[in-house]
Amino acid sequence: MTEPAPWKNRAAILAVGLTVNKIMDWPFNYILYPGVIYLFGIWWGGLIMTFLSFIYCLLTIWFYDWSKKDWLGIEAIKGLKNYEGGHSAGRMTSWFLRRSEPVAFLFLTFWYDPFITMAYMRRGAYNGMGTRDWRIFLASLLLGNFYWILASWLGVNLLEYLCCEAFRQGSIPLRYRYRHSDIW
């Protein structure tokens, strides 16, 4: 029996890795994160989710280094630095990554997560985390979680407000609720 072509093996690894990553990330970011912020508030919920994010990303880093497989295409992202193809997402990523390390750090922190940020910015691949890598990881973790805490808190409060307004009997729209003399 013949071996599959190397690109087919690579495509299969990427397909499985990206699918599993999305299956794990989506509920974490869009169900668990807002739920914890709603239940525990912005401060305690934020601390809980920052801790959970730390554990989740650290386990992912350890698995990535242990497997020695580029199952998320991080090495491919490194290759996007010089991308000149026709896809706008690839060109945008390339533009951000070429600017400088701080710009790449901010882009990866807000667009992806601390694990991908650290893995992209570290020197080498599958070689553990040095002092520089830990600094990048922790800075990305704190900055990215600050963003997610605010986004989740705003989203939860907006949803709560809209639900309350939608289900209130005979509600008056907010802009008509207060008279000018009541505010001043």
Percent of the chain with pLDDT over 90: 40
So what's the pLDDT on residue 5?
62
Alpha-carbon span 79 to 73, nearest angstrom: 10
Q: Where are the domains of the chain?
A: 6-162
Of 41-55, 106-120, 170-184, least confident by mean pLDDT is 170-184
DSSP label of 124: S
So what's the pLDDT on residue 99?
82
pLDDT of 180 higher than 50: no
pLDDT tens sequence across 112-122: 889 989 988 98
CB 38 within 8 Å of CB 45: yes
pLDDT tens sequence across 47-93: 999 999 999 999 999 998 998 888 888 877 777 777 777 778 777 87
Alpha-carbon span 16 to 115, nearest angstrom: 18
- Judge residue 91's burial from the number of C-beta atoms within 10 Å of its C-beta, 0-12 exposed, 13-18 middle, 19 or more buried: middle
**DSSP 3-state of 86:** coil
